[in-house]
Amino acid sequence: MDNYIALSYWDLVAASVLVFINAGLSVIFRLRVHRSLLIAAIRMVVQLALVGVVLTTLFSLVSPLWTGLAAIGMVLFAGHEAAQRQERGLSGWWSYGLGTGCMMVSSVVVTVFALLTALRPNPWYDPRYAIPLLGMILGNCMTGIALGLDTLTTSLVSRHAGVEAQLMLGATRQEAVAPVTRQALRSALMPTINSMSATGVVSLPGMMTGQMLGGVPPAEAVKYQILLMFLLSGGSGMAAAIAAYAAAWRLTDKRDRLRLDQLVK
């Protein structure tokens, strides 16, 4: 690992030219995205620079308290991002709390499972392992929850007549919303399925590529990537399932009625 190629700031400046080329194309073709592109690039650089400073401090402390606080901060921010991606969100506290709670449960469970079984760092909460692993799992959970909830709410709105007809004919709320829930779970899991199907043949994932650039033998990098894909699949599936069924429960009541008034645009 000590034979990695160190990058200078000038190397990053040279690579940034590609972003300015894209901005120029936006101006030439009147796409009107050059401002957003440049702002996103600047925001990314600032965020990653701050993350680098924070992680350097965390890695030197190796404290369960600070590792836990960093994990909570990551989950809270991910919950906010997931809530913002909903075309029709749940009303009140549920809009933020449901996605955040599901992500916290699934990502923490899967991360701790990996730390205690496959990786086994000493101590097990070592932020050098816990924080990057949690970040990757959390990002995948966030995507799964966002897609699942968005599919669930939009489908219930568009198919509410059929769902209400089943309820009037005597179906329970679980039976009436089951097709919509299955559709939501399929949408949530599809990015993970596509990613696993293409990994190794169509694409080399970022973690695996980064490890090889850092000097890790390809065979070892492959094992880590396989482990990560299994963890991402488990975390995303768990988070999406909890969120979808909890949202379906929220959008119906114990008298087997559909409650679309619990949705807001």
Q: CA 83 to CA 95: how far, in whole Å? A: 6
The reported pLDDT for the residue numbered 134 is: 95
In the chain the first and final C-alpha atoms are separated, in Å, by: 50
Q: CA 265 to CA 242: how far, in whole Å? A: 22
The reported pLDDT for the residue numbered 3 is: 67
The reported pLDDT for the residue numbered 101 is: 95
Nearest to 88 by CA among 160, 179, 185, 156: 156
Instruction: Return the amino acid letter for 164.
Output: E
Sort 244 into a burial class: Cβ within 10 Å, 0-12 / 13-18 / 19+.
buried
Structure tokens that stand for 105 in this block = 């449960």
* 177 Cβ contact partners less than 8 Å away, ≥ 6 residues apart: 156, 163, 248, 251, 252
The reported pLDDT for the residue numbered 63 is: 93
- Report, as ranges of residue numbers, the positions in the chain whose pLDDT lies below 50: 1
Size of the chain in residues: 265
* CB neighbours of residue 50 within 10 Å: 10
Handedness of CA 86, 89, 95, 98 (dihedral sign): negative
* 135 Cβ contact partners less than 8 Å away, ≥ 6 residues apart: 74
Nearest to 54 by CA among 127, 108, 141, 1: 127
Instruction: Return the amino acid letter for 46.
Output: V
Q: CA 56 to CA 127: how far, in whole Å? A: 10
Local structure of 89: helix, strand or coil: strand
Helices 218-250 and 127-158 sit at what angle, rounded to 10 degrees? 40
Please report where in the chains the tokens 């949705």 appear, as a residue.
263
